[in-house]
Structure 1
Amino acid sequence: MFLEQFIAYIKYEKRYSPHTASAYESDLTQFFTFLNHPDAVVNHPAEITHHQIRNWMVELMNAGIAARSINRKIATLRKYFKFLLQGGQISASPVARIQTPKVAKQLPVVVEDEKLSKLLDNDEVFGANFQGMRDKLVIELLFGTGMRLAELLGLTSEDINMYEGTVKVLGKRNKQRIIPLNTELRQVILKHAELKKNEIFANNSLKLIVTNKGADAYPKMIYLIVQKYLTYISTQNKKSPHVLRHTFATSLLNKGADLNAIKDLLGHASLSATQVYTHNSVERLKSIYKQAHPKAN
């Protein structure tokens, strides 16, 4: 079914992150499993029809899969069949006639930046050893720069320019961008570097963020770090690295930052992806209005 070729294509030609490539592979494996059952085995992608894709969507809906997740899976199929079409393996894409379910707009989940700042100012929460300072650096980088999880995992010490106070980030589609570092974040980077230098590791990764044994940090590790510390200040269910990215963008917008500047800092390809944060800002203004204006009620 050309799955290995497709995954290699998005990894090495399109330069998708390992996390994204893994999600694509999972979606396609799930789809192929649905297609191949004892009564009807599909041997080639050209045999797949839009009816089968619709039947898969129905099965996902009946299983209670959210519309947003279904749309992501269909987007995976679109990319996969486009790849096959360009390679001449198929003559038409069966996804062309598929309409995806409508998704209700959801506001980005954020935490209160005041509470987050107080947490980061509390040295006792993190501790003074290497592990504590590394954990603090993870939170500081995600909240202080708005970078993505994959971008954080890819950082090396060479990407940090302490003289200029910037960090070089390799984002989606292999695009580089420069993000400024605040003074407190630079201090944490220096403290982390000093403690890291004194550690004796079993491994010697070149990455900025490493495990307690010195190996490359991995997604699950970062998730656990973020969840651990956000639990101190938030009762909401979602406590992920992306929540800190959302908080970064929303905080900038609430304090009057230009939307185009936020777009560049986040590494968005278009302004439409950044405009979702304006809804959070409007909701905040509504809340302030209801609390402060005598005619609000």
Structure 2
Amino acid sequence: MTGGTRATRATHEALPPAMREAVDDFADHLARVRNRSAHTVRAYVADVVSLLDHAVRMGCSAPAELDLTVLRSWLARQRTVGAARTSLARRAAAARTFSAWAHRAGVLPADVAAPLSSPRAHRDLPTVLRADQAAALVEAPDRRPDLTRPAEATGPDADGRRDGSATEAARQDDPADPARPEDEPVRLRDRVLLELLYGTGVRVSEACGLDVADVDHGRRVIRVLGKGGRERSVPYGVPAQRAIDDWLRSGRPALAVPGSGEALLLGARGGRLNPTTARRIVAGYAESLGLPRVSPHGLRHSAATHLLEGGADLRAVQELLGHSSLGSTQIYTHVSVERLRAAYRQAHPRA
């Protein structure tokens, strides 16, 4: 077993040998066959280790001894200690995935988790910006950079170095000077980041994972590698094209270092832009404008909602966002309905 928390590793090592081997083989299956991300593998493995640890406490010594009673007992135990409905739903999904794999691999005589039910995860309606608010946020790097450019908080770059501001201009006691050319590349990068997040609706990890060659300037599309290694092409508009052109012409060359590779978006030290830093950039600009607290995922929510409100087809939005299930996209129709309902209550005399 690789990765995971110290507690999960310790619990994994305490399992009987047959269970440890099953966990390791399952993790390998998720990573190599299912092409799941390292984060997903860690989460599923942690849930399965918890399940098998519970099974051991109930007297099981091998995966083959798992049954529906053990699974239900495990979920009931999770609920007793205060796990949220979303956590219970995820853990039940992990158990079903493990059980199905174990049955196919001959580790379990039957897919014992197939009939396992779990509480429906409560899905909060995502917070979205109005179109004018989203436009203001995307254009923020071009406006009063001495006031609106947030500090680029330090964090590890993909190349292992620290990613900080190119200058100390973001400090409140030393505001950015529009006349200082060393500040310009970072502002150009910020504009591209915001344009891509809202203009295409891509995930922050997808935006940070883009390479220069992933931009098709002639067709105005980007090639995105999404969850599960699924590749898709996403169009972008004229404002994003201008921002990309400015960045590639004047911004990226100023930040690039020998270790930059082909990364499209760079941190201030030249490594690939880190998603954590990207989140701080978005939050900083939103705060500077007095907007509701928003994240890159909030911009993704906003893009999807505005597309649907503008008449886009639900399946087209599903394709753009890279959702494997239409159900994941349908939540945005609920957002639009809620907005309509709120407007009705506010304006109609018979409401």
Report the TM-score, using the length of structure 2 for normalisation.
Answer: 0.74
**Structure 2 Cα separation of the partners of residues 131 and 32 of structure 1:** 49
Using the aligned pairs only, state the percent identity.
31
- What's the offset of the Cα at 1:115? 1.1
Q: Which residue of 2 aligns with 1:108?
A: 126
Q: Which residue of 1 aligns with 2:38?
A: 18
3-state SS of the aligned residue for 2:241?
A: helix
Match of 1:199 among 255, 259, 267: 255
Structure-to-structure mapping, 1:164-183, within 5 angstroms: 164-183=219-238
- What's the offset of the Cα at 1:196? 1.6
Q: Which residue of 1 aligns with 2:48?
A: 28
Q: Which runs of 5+ in 1 are unaligned?
A: none
* Inter-CA distance 26–141: structure 2 relative to 1 (3 Å threshold): farther
Q: Would you say the 8 A contact 1:144–1:248 is kept in 2?
A: yes
Deviations 1:57-111 (A, max 9, x none): 2232223221112101111121122111111111123323422123344322322
3-state SS of the aligned residue for 2:259?
A: coil
Q: Which residue of 1 aligns with 2:282?
A: 226
**Structure 2 Cα separation of the partners of residues 31 and 287 of structure 1:** 44
Q: Would you say the 8 A contact 2:198–2:302 is kept in 1?
A: yes
**Structure 2 Cα separation of the partners of residues 29 and 188 of structure 1:** 47
Q: Which residue of 1 aligns with 2:98?
A: 80
Structure-to-structure mapping, 1:96-245, within 5 angstroms: 96-122=114-140, 123=142, 124=145, 125-126=148-149, 128-193=183-248, 194-201=250-257, 203-232=259-288, 233-236=290-293, 239-245=294-300
Q: Quick check: which has more Rg, 1 or 2?
A: 2
- What's the offset of the Cα at 1:3? 2.4
3-state SS of the aligned residue for 1:96?
A: coil
**Structure 1 Cα separation of the partners of residues 284 and 326 of structure 2:** 33
Q: Would you say the 8 A contact 1:19–1:150 is kept in 2?
A: no
**Structure 2 Cα separation of the partners of residues 106 and 160 of structure 1:** 34
Q: Would you say the 8 A contact 2:138–2:198 is kept in 1?
A: no
Q: Does 1:251 align with 2:306?
A: yes
* Inter-CA distance 200–168: structure 2 relative to 1 (3 Å threshold): closer
- What's the offset of the Cα at 1:43? 4.2
Q: Would you say the 8 A contact 2:92–2:117 is kept in 1?
A: no
**Structure 1 Cα separation of the partners of residues 207 and 29 of structure 2:** 23
Deviations 1:31-78 (A, max 9, x none): 345455xx6675432233333322322232223221112101111121
**Structure 2 Cα separation of the partners of residues 69 and 52 of structure 1:** 18
Structure-to-structure mapping, 1:34-113, within 5 angstroms: 34-36=54-56, 42-113=60-131
**Structure 1 Cα separation of the partners of residues 53 and 270 of structure 2:** 38
Report the TM-score, using the length of structure 1 for normalisation.
Answer: 0.86
Q: Would you say the 8 A contact 1:107–1:280 is kept in 2?
A: yes
Give the letter aligned to residue 311 of structure 2.
G
Q: Would you say the 8 A contact 2:100–2:113 is kept in 1?
A: no
* Inter-CA distance 29–214: structure 2 relative to 1 (3 Å threshold): farther
Kindly tell me the number of residue pairs found equivalent between the two proteins: 292
Tell me how large the CA RMSD over aligned residues is: 2.6
**Structure 1 Cα separation of the partners of residues 187 and 315 of structure 2:** 35
**Structure 2 Cα separation of the partners of residues 143 and 164 of structure 1:** 19
